[in-house]
Amino acid sequence: MDFTLSDEQKMIQRTVREFVKKELMPLEQEVLKNEREGRPGLTDSVIKNLQEKAKAAGFWGINTPEEYGGANLGPVMTALLQMELGRTFVPFSFGGSADNILYDCNEEQKQKYLIPVINGERRSCFALTEPGAGSDAANIKMTAVKDGDHWVLNGEKVFITNGNEADFAMVFAVTDKEKGANGGVTCFLVDRDMGWRSEYIQTMGEWGPASLVFEDVRVPEANILGELGKGFSLGMKWIGQGRWLIPARAVGASERLLQMAMDYAKTRVTFGKPIAERQAIQWMIADSNVEIEATRWLVLHAAWLSETGKDNRHYASIAKLYGSNMANRVVDRVLQIHGGMGYTKELPIERWYREMRLWRIFEGTDEIQRYIISRNLLRGHVKVGELMD
């Protein structure tokens, strides 16, 4: 059992950390200013310029197969990179990637949807959640009714990331109510110009999701992604691939915040001593460090299972549940250590505070993760104390 990173992994990790420090962190004040004035943190042109710089350093399509021009670094390296990107709240991601289920496109669809997304020419969104079907994804109500060589879609999707910007959506609809989720749900590739519209949803954070409204939207039969009736498994495939990436990002963000707290505690003096010498502060720092380290290894274990072809769903849920809650505890302690200054908008702590609260809901709520974990144990799918071999 060797937890040492390879020389290549260390080199990639250092390169990304330097990129974050040199290219992204200097933009933080600009991002805060823009967001607080109701504008996107970064313009598309700035993001594209940053992605080009990252591409020049070899970071393009980090999980995209090499046949599509990607680096295909794998889950473990992806987790390490997300930890580094998490050190800043600047809204940036490496280019050259596409949603995992778009690789289920047929050859014609790949030319129209997958390849343009990888090349940054088109933007997609994943549209599964509905007003009455969030964590209970199998309960979606949107309908798709066959009409000749088209399907007519009616319904609404909510909290759709990139829904306001996307020019096509991967939309899940009921095509056979009698068969239920397993066999009665189909995924469609639906261009915006086919007639759906998006409506911006205001949130307490900077995440601006959308409602997507479909009123008699006609979609060609050729735009079915995968197979008719097999959409629910595609939806679960999409959800599962990102669950452990949220706690990976939480590790990087929490490390940055903890360092801010320690730096402040060494200089803030009360009653003649730096607060770093107060036991109350020391315990908050110690607890935060322990929880960050625990999350790191939960994430890397889930990533390693994925990389070695093993079923990581149970362990991804553990990492997601623990890591998202860890980040919320850490940012709360960091704000407390900063006192009144932590509560102001002069520091970015409150910005992280609002973003991290979403992590306990996004990609499966705390309650859903607990349900998954307990169900696996009670049904014997996973045994207490038994390591994955």
Assess whether pLDDT exceeds 80 at residue 1.
Answer: no
Assess whether pLDDT exceeds 80 at residue 12.
Answer: yes
Beta bridge partners of 169: 125, 190
Residues taking part in catalysis: 363
* pLDDT the model gives residue 124: 96
* pLDDT the model gives residue 389: 59
* pLDDT the model gives residue 142: 95
pLDDT digits (tens, 9 = 90+) for 193-207: 999 999 999 999 887
* pLDDT the model gives residue 238: 86
Burial 134-147 (b: 16+ CB within 10 A, else e): beebeebebebeee
Q: How far apart are CA 83 and CA 251, in angstroms?
A: 6
Average pLDDT over residues 321-327: 98
Global pTM reads: 0.92
3-state secondary structure of 147: strand
* pLDDT the model gives residue 241: 76
Confidence of residue 388 (pLDDT cuts 50, 70, 90): low
Q: How far apart are CA 97 and CA 82, in angstroms?
A: 14
Position 360, amino acid = R
Q: How far apart are CA 67 and CA 85, in angstroms?
A: 26
- Beta-strand relationship, 168-174 and 124-127: parallel
Beta bridge partners of 126: 170
Assess whether pLDDT exceeds 80 at residue 135.
Answer: no
CB atoms inside a 10 Å sphere around CB 57: 14
Position 329, amino acid = R
Domains of the chain: 7-97 (1.10.540.10), 123-231 (2.40.110.10), 243-378 (1.20.140.10)
pLDDT digits (tens, 9 = 90+) for 27-51: 999 999 999 998 889 999 999 999 9
Question: 14: burial class by Cβ within 10 Å (0-12, 13-18, 19+)?
Answer: exposed
Position 76, amino acid = V
Q: How far apart are CA 72 and CA 59, in angstroms?
A: 10
